[in-house]
Amino acid sequence: MESEKIKEIEEKMEEKEEKEEKKREGAVPGDVIAKGPNYLPGEGTRREGSEIIATRFGLVSHEDRLVKIIPFSGTYAPRRGNVVIGVVKDTTYNGWLVNINATMRAFLPITEAKSFVSKQEEPSSIYAIGDMLVLKIKAAKLKGIDLTMADRGLHGLKGGMIIEINSNKVPRVIGKMGSMINMIKIETNCNITVGQNGIIWIGGEKIEDELLAKEAIMMITKQSTSEGLTEKVEAFLKKRKSKEKE
């Protein structure tokens, strides 16, 4: 009798967990994840008026009135020279705090910004909270990470789609000498920037192209140990494109 009660309790708990999992949706910084004065901002969120805004990448979790973001798995280990994608989290008098999905604090000084004009210019007039940037890690220390945008190819991102993968899967997505990612760019007609922190930006003329590129990238992460993966992904993209033409 007691064992039956325990089993019943366990089944109810599993059912509750399944319902909670279905409720959770992915969020990127800047997404409005809840509206109304009844909600309270939790970890990874902030309040703007009556809206709760995501400040990090992850899954949305509702615990009664509290709304928070559960970070995706695969913590990024920053290294000097890595090109990453990050979101401006806050501005200071001399630069920006940037979320690059690392455990350490990341800072972009105004003197390292590509749009820097003069010391009199306010950081918030160059990049605002929520802006997405392509940056390079200048130094990774115990106290924090120094970022730069002074090098070639580093810039702000506008429009497009942001997705996140485990940073350990990035080399597979890029491929040998860029073979995989270049093939996806050609087949989907999209511009794609892969951050070594696992954050990827996809920009295309049509949302359908962006979604196809996303699907190909997620396929790679799920089949990363598969042999002949480049050929499989290329065949998948060509098949999908031919179906769309029918």
**Where are the strands (E) in 36-94, listed by range?**
40-41, 45-48, 51-54, 58-63, 66-71, 83-92
* Protein fold of 83-157: OB fold (Dihydrolipoamide Acetyltransferase, E2P) (2.40.50)
pLDDT in tens, the chain (246 residues): 555 554 554 554 445 444 444 445 777 778 899 999 899 999 889 999 999 998 877 778 888 889 988 765 556 878 899 999 999 999 998 899 999 988 788 999 998 987 665 556 677 788 999 999 999 999 988 788 999 999 999 999 999 999 999 888 899 999 989 999 999 999 999 999 999 999 999 999 999 999 999 999 999 999 887 888 989 999 999 888 887 766
Q: Given this chain, do its domains 25-71 and 83-157 carry the same CATH topology?
A: yes
Classify domain 161-245 at the CATH superfamily level. K Homology domain, type 1 (3.30.1370.10)
Q: Domain 25-71: give its CATH architecture.
A: Beta Barrel (2.40)
Indicate the domain borders of the chain.
Answer: 25-71, 83-157, 161-245
Q: Residue type at 31? A: D
At 73 the pLDDT is 56
Distance between CA atoms of 216 and 236, rounded to whole angstroms?
Answer: 8
- Contacts of residue 81, defined as CB under 8 A and 6 or more positions apart, other chains included, come to 136, 137
Distance between CA atoms of 176 and 158, rounded to whole angstroms?
Answer: 28
The H or E element containing residue 214 is helix 207-222
At 13 the pLDDT is 46
Distance between CA atoms of 91 and 243, rounded to whole angstroms?
Answer: 47
DSSP state of 124: G
Distance between CA atoms of 131 and 134, rounded to whole angstroms?
Answer: 10
Distance between CA atoms of 188 and 85, rounded to whole angstroms?
Answer: 21
